[in-house]
């Protein structure tokens, strides 16, 4: 079944249907604060109409999401149904390359001397 290209839905409602936000009011607040772009243009009205082939850019948590609307949808269904409403264009985030936290090899809390040693190992002697 091909989605009707003329069909449209409110932006806040679509974000809620697609399960990007837990409540519709959270989606509306995100749009109202100007943190959502539709086809590269900033949108500040939650009632802005979106339809098939529109590209949305918004922040969700710590990541920037870029999605293409496939279908306006008719209800907020289960997650597998919600995932059919969009195509995720977000590039995968690079793996965190930070070194792991140093481990204290002893038992209990480190002494002041051990703590200094851990700090020197982490920063290096010249800092």
Say what the pTM is. 0.71
Q: Which residues of 56-74 are buried (b: 16+ CB within 10 A; e: fewer)?
A: bbbeeeeeebebebbbbbe
Q: What are the backbone dihedrals phi and psi of residue 36, each rounded to the nearest 5 degrees, phi first?
A: -125, 135
Average pLDDT for the chain = 87
Those residues with Cβ within 8 angstroms of residue 109's Cβ, 6 or more apart along the chain or in another chain = none
CA distance 50 to 67: 12
Query: Residue 39's pLDDT is what?
Result: 95
Query: Residue 117's pLDDT is what?
Result: 84
Query: Residue 83's pLDDT is what?
Result: 95
Query: Residue 4's pLDDT is what?
Result: 58
Q: How many CB atoms lie within 10 A of CB 18?
A: 24
Mean pLDDT by 10 residues, the chain (127 residues): 72 96 95 95 95 94 92 93 95 75 68 84 66
Query: Residue 42's pLDDT is what?
Result: 96
46, 101, 109, 110 from 104: Cα distances, Å: 51, 10, 9, 7
Query: Residue 126's pLDDT is what?
Result: 60
Query: Residue 1's pLDDT is what?
Result: 52
Strands (E), 11-89: 36-38, 41-43, 49-51, 55-60, 63-69, 86-88
Strand, coil or helix: 61? coil
86, two tokens: 């969009």
CATH 3.10.290.10 describes domain 8-88: yes
Domain ranges of the chain: 8-88
């Amino acid at each position: 079944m091909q989605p009707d290209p003329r069909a449209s839905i409110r932006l806040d409602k679509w974000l809620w249907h697609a399960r990007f936000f837990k409540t519709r009011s959270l989606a509306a607040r995100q749009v109202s604060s100007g943190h959502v772009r539709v086809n590269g243009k900033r949108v500040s009205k939650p009632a802005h109409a979106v339809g098939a082939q529109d590209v949305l850019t918004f922040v969700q948590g710590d990541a920037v999401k870029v999605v293409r609307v496939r279908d306006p949808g008719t209800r907020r269904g289960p997650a597998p149904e919600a995932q059919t409403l969009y195509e995720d264009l977000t590039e995968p985030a690079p793996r965190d390359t930070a070194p792991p936290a140093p481990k204290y090899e002893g038992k209990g809390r480190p002494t002041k001397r051990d703590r200094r040693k851990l700090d020197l190992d982490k920063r290096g002697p010249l800092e």
